[in-house]
Structure 1
Amino acid sequence: MEILTILESLEDLIEKSSGVPFSGKCLVDREEVLEIVKEMRLKLPDDIKQAKWIKEERQKILLEAQKEANNILKDAENKIASLVDEHEITKKAYEQSNEIVSSAQKNAREIRLGAREYADSVLNKVEEILTDATDVIKTNRKELK
Structure 2
Amino acid sequence: MLRPKQPNIEPNHNGGNPLSEEYPNGISYDGDATPTGGVDLQQELNRLEEMILSGLNIPLTRCTLVDEDKLLDQLDFIRLSLPEAFQEAAGVLQEKEEILLQAEEYGQQIVDAAQAKRAQILDESDILRQAEREAQQMRQQVQQECEAMMQETLTEIDRKRRACQQEIEEMRRAAVAEAEAIEQGADEYADSVLENIEQQLQEMLRIIRNGRQQLYPDNSKGHNSLPPKKK
TM-score by length of 1: 0.53
Aligned residue among 74, 86, 96 for 2:125:
86
| Cα distance between partner residues in 2 of 1:32 and 1:51 | 27
| Cα distance between partner residues in 1 of 2:72 and 2:58 | 20
Q: CA deviation at 1:40?
A: 0.7
Q: Is 1:18 paired with 2:56?
A: yes
Distance 1:44-1:87 versus aligned 2 partners, 3 A rule: same
| Cα distance between partner residues in 2 of 1:74 and 1:89 | 24
Distance 1:66-1:20 versus aligned 2 partners, 3 A rule: same
Q: What residue is the counterpart of 2:31 in the other structure?
A: none
Mapping of 1:17-96 within 5 angstroms?
A: 17-83=55-121, 84-86=123-125
Q: CA deviation at 1:34?
A: 0.8
Q: CA deviation at 1:85?
A: 2.9
| Cα distance between partner residues in 2 of 1:43 and 1:9 | 14
Structure of higher RCO (CA pairs closer than 8 Å, 6+ residues apart): 1
Deviates more, 1:79-88 or 1:17-26: 79-88
**For the aligned residues, what is the CA RMSD?**
2.4
Q: What residue is the counterpart of 1:9 in the other structure?
A: 47
Indicate the structure (1 or 2) with the bigger Cα radius of gyration: 2
Q: CA deviation at 1:33?
A: 0.7
| Cα distance between partner residues in 2 of 1:68 and 1:23 | 63
Matched residue of 1:24: which SS?
Answer: coil
Q: Deviations over 1:78-121 (max 9, x none)?
A: 2233331335989xxxxxxxxxxxxxxxxxxxxxxxxxxxxxxx
| Cα distance between partner residues in 2 of 1:67 and 1:7 | 40
TM-score by length of 2: 0.35
| Cα distance between partner residues in 2 of 1:9 and 1:89 | 75
* 5+ residue gaps, structure 2: 1-38, 130-231
Distance 1:78-1:29 versus aligned 2 partners, 3 A rule: same
Q: CA deviation at 1:39?
A: 1.1
Q: Deviations over 1:3-23 (max 9, x none)?
A: 122222222221221111211
Q: CA deviation at 1:60?
A: 1.1
> How many percent identity over aligned positions?
26
* 5+ residue gaps, structure 1: 91-145
Aligned pairs, how many?
A: 90
